[in-house]
Each structure stands twice: as structure tokens, then as C-alpha cells.
Amino acid sequence: MDKLKIRQIRYEFTCPQPLMLHHELPSITIRGAFGYALAQVIARQAGIPELEDQVALYKEFFMPQNDGTANSHDRELARPFVLRGSFTRPDRRSFIIEVLLFGVATEYEALFDEVFRTMAKMGLGLRNQVCDIEKIMSRILQLPDPEQFPFLLVTFLTPCARLKSQNVVFRDELPFHVLCARLIDRVEELNRLYGDGIPFHSFEEIGELKKATQDIQYKKLSGGVYEVNRISGRTGDTMKLDGFLGTMEYHGDFTPFREYLRYLPYINLGRFNVFGCGWCRIEYSEKEVYY
């Protein structure tokens, strides 16, 4: 059993007309609709005495705040879920959204089912297009162990936004020490907030691990800065979600980082991860890749 449980759920939205979702990152639109639908579901349940604790769930799941007692540099804490997805038809009439739930959130599958049914009824996109929805899978993931190869390819399918190290934002490429340090922090925070609360490693051990990341060589194989903007339907503000999009190759001994690297494809790195940013795939290789 993995230390931090992850539940993977997929829903498919279908519509008679093309879905008018965000052109560059459709999951941005889905996340906005998710927020409205979650608020509606909670509002319905708040008037039922035996479900009144669901109101607390809204704050816990959608806008958890750092109250000063939690060890976080951000005012808003990590959410126990991420969203990501893509169109499944060239005419854009079908879209699959994948939800990944972490830790205690894996127990609230029924709540997310109701939220997504509500989203379909409320409609998606600029035209609030009413959709049919089908839940096509749900499972607790069994995370594979990293392969014992000296090369690691990490391909970001959506921008890895605002990944920072020592106040420097990395957008054109992602050195391993930047990527892995953020991965370690994110896994530890998710486990502290929603998992068993027991750190994977001590503070001192994590410090040594982060130092060891400097030994891993890196090379950009493709891509660079990808610029994406989101306009909030609630406030009208423009958010810049730009970050690295492409493939990085890393070379070295990944053994010390195995526990964390298992989570890399599932937790979305960088800012705006609940919008679908920071989604990546990984592949280990015996040989260097030449582009």
C-alpha cells in the first residue's frame, strides 16, 4: 500500500455541438465550472442536518487556508485533488476529464460524482453547454517502482508554471534540482495535510536529498516557455499560467529519490496545478536520447 493514496477517476462529457472550452488548456474551463458546481452541491446539502459537515468540506477541498499552524509558505494550502484532461474527438464534442484525489479525499468519491453531474447540468464553457456525462473509470492507483536506468525523460503535457528555486523562476528549462526539490515539498505537504501525516523523511534527511539533486545532469530535448492566460469568470482578473512545456532529460543515480519520483506523473507540479498545469509523463531509459 502506498503511503499517500491516490484515486484516479475519469468522466466523459459529450455534447451535440463543439464544446467551447479554453482553447489552449481546456481543463481551465473545467476547473472554473467545478468550483461553481461544488458550491451549489454544498449549498443544497447545508440545509440537511445530517449533512451539515459538508459545508466544512467545501473549505477543506476547494479553498484550504493556512491558519498559521500549518507549515506552508503560501496562504492557500495544497488542494487534495488535481484536474486534467483532453478532447477525445477532433470536432471537440467529447472531453475526458481525469480527477486525481489524494489521501482522505479518496473517500469522497460520491461527492465528486455529484459535483460532476451538476457540472453537466449547469453547462460548460462560454455558452454554458449542457452535456451528457458518463463515469468511465475509478480505481486506487498502485504506483510503479521507478526502473533502475540512468536516464529519465520527463515530458510536460501542460505548462509547469512558476517553478522556483532561490527566488528564480524557471520557465525555459527545468534543472533536476529545481524539479525534484518542488516534487519533494509537494509530496510531503500533501501527505502531511491529507495522508498519514508522518513525513517520508526527516527534515535533515530531506535537506541532504535536496543537496544530492545537484549531482543529476540535465538537458532540454524540446520545448520551452509556453504562455497561457486565464480570465476569471468571477473577478475578471487575468492570470498568467505560462511555464515550461516540453521534454527534459536527466542523467544520474535516481535511487535516493525513488519514493518521490513514483508520484511525479500524478500530482501536477508548479502553480495552478488544480487547473491542469504541471501534468507530465515520465520514462526511464538505458541510453541517452539524441534529438
**Residue 62's pLDDT band (boundaries 50, 70, 90)?**
low
Please tell me the pTM assigned to this model.
0.88
pLDDT tens for each residue of 185-223: 999 999 998 998 899 999 999 999 999 999 999 999 999
| Predicted pLDDT of residue 108 | 87
**pLDDT tens string 71-89:** 444 446 788 999 999 999 9
What is the CATH topology of the domain spanning 151-285?
Answer: Alpha-Beta Plaits (3.30.70)
Whole-number percent of the chain with pLDDT over 70: 87
CATH fold label, 6-140: Alpha-Beta Plaits (3.30.70)
**Selected residue with higher pLDDT from 125 and 72:** 125
Per domain, the residue ranges of the chain are 6-140, 151-285
Give the DSSP per-residue string, the chain. --SS-EEEEEEEEE-SS-----SS-THHHHHHHHHHHHHHHHHHHHTSGGGTTHHHHHHHHH--B--SSS--SSSBPPPSEEEEEEESSTTS-EEEEEEEEEGGGGGGHHHHHHHHHHHHHH-BTTTTB--EEEEEEEEE--PPPPPS-SEEEEEEEEEEETEEETTEEE-S---HHHHHHHHHHHHHHHHHHHS-S--SS-HHHHHHHHHHGGGSEEEEEEEEEE--EEE-TTT--EEE--EEEEEEEEES--GGGHHHHTTTTTS--SBTGGGTTT-EEEEEESS----
* pLDDT score of 234: 61
User: Would you state the pLDDT for residue 14?
Assistant: 96
- Give the model confidence (pLDDT) of 143-166 as tens digits: 988 888 999 999 999 999 989 888
| pLDDT at site 55 | 55
Asked whether residue 42 carries a pLDDT value surpassing 90, the answer given is: no
Summary mean pLDDT of the chain: 87
24 burial level (CB within 10 Å; 0-12, 13-18, 19+) = middle
Report CA 157 to chain centroid distance, whole Å: 12
Instruction: Give the whole-angstrom CA distance, residue 79 versus residue 102.
Output: 9
Q: What is the pLDDT of residue 231?
A: 72
